[in-house]
């Protein structure tokens, strides 16, 4: 005799062992993906933690440098207060005493016409000093051209002479150190 088994459930019956065999690889692959992503994220966290540690170290170093700089600034300010008047006085003395010999020589070079020879030169050691020149010229008109060029520098002709066809003049020129 045959027995009839009726399934009154609305759907088919689930075969649990077959379901486990089919779902096990899916669960294993999902678990493997989950663990892999955790490993990747923890690696990124380690790199981030290393960068944060480096940032903290650099921030601490920056604070040390800033404190050292503030100390130096305080020291400089104290020295400026202590030496300020003396430095101003010394700078003023230097300003009053210095002049540019090169600048005077450059101006003389600009006004010297061709055909003149400078035999000697001497300068006074101050800002509004005169320049004493002894000049030899092949012709008198060239010497006169030099006189015209130097006329606005307060020219003073000390002597003029002719020796063997060469005209020699000694003169003083007052030149400001501009």
Residue 51: CB atoms within 10 Å: 10
Are 91 and 21 within one domain? yes
What pLDDT is attached to residue 160?
Answer: 92
Q: Each residue of 79-131: pLDDT tens digit?
A: 888 887 888 888 887 776 666 677 788 888 888 888 888 899 988 766 566 88
pLDDT band at 63 (very low <50, low <70, confident <90, very high): very high
C-beta separation of 102 from 140 below 8 A: no
Structural domain tally of the chain? 2
**CATH code of the domain covering residue 114:** 3.30.1360.100
Average pLDDT for 38-67? 85
Q: Among the three residues 98, 127, 154, which one is the final residue of a domain in this structure?
A: 98
165 in the Ramachandran plot: left (φ > 0), alpha (ψ -120 to 50) or beta?
A: left
């Amino acid at each position: 005799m045959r027995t009839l088994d009726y399934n009154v459930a609305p759907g088919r019956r689930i075969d649990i062992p077959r379901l486990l065999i089919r779902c096990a690889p899916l669960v294993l692959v999902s678990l493997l993906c989950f663990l892999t992503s955790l490993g990747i994220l923890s690696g990124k966290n380690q790199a981030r933690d290393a960068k944060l540690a480096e940032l903290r170290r650099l921030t601490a170093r920056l604070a040390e440098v800033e404190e050292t700089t503030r100390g130096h600034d305080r020291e400089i300010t104290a020295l400026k207060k202590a030496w300020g008047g003396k430095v101003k006085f010394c700078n003023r003395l230097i300003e009053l005493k210095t002049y540019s010999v090169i600048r005077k020589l450059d101006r003389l070079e600009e006004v010297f016409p061709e055909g003149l020879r400078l035999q000697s030169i001497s300068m006074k050691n101050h800002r509004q000093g005169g320049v004493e020149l002894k000049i030899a010229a092949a012709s008198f008109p060239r010497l006169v051209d030099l006189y015209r060029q130097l006329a606005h520098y307060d020219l003073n002709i000390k002597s003029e002479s002719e020796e063997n066809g060469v005209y020699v003049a000694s003169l003083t020129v007052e030149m400001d150190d501009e």
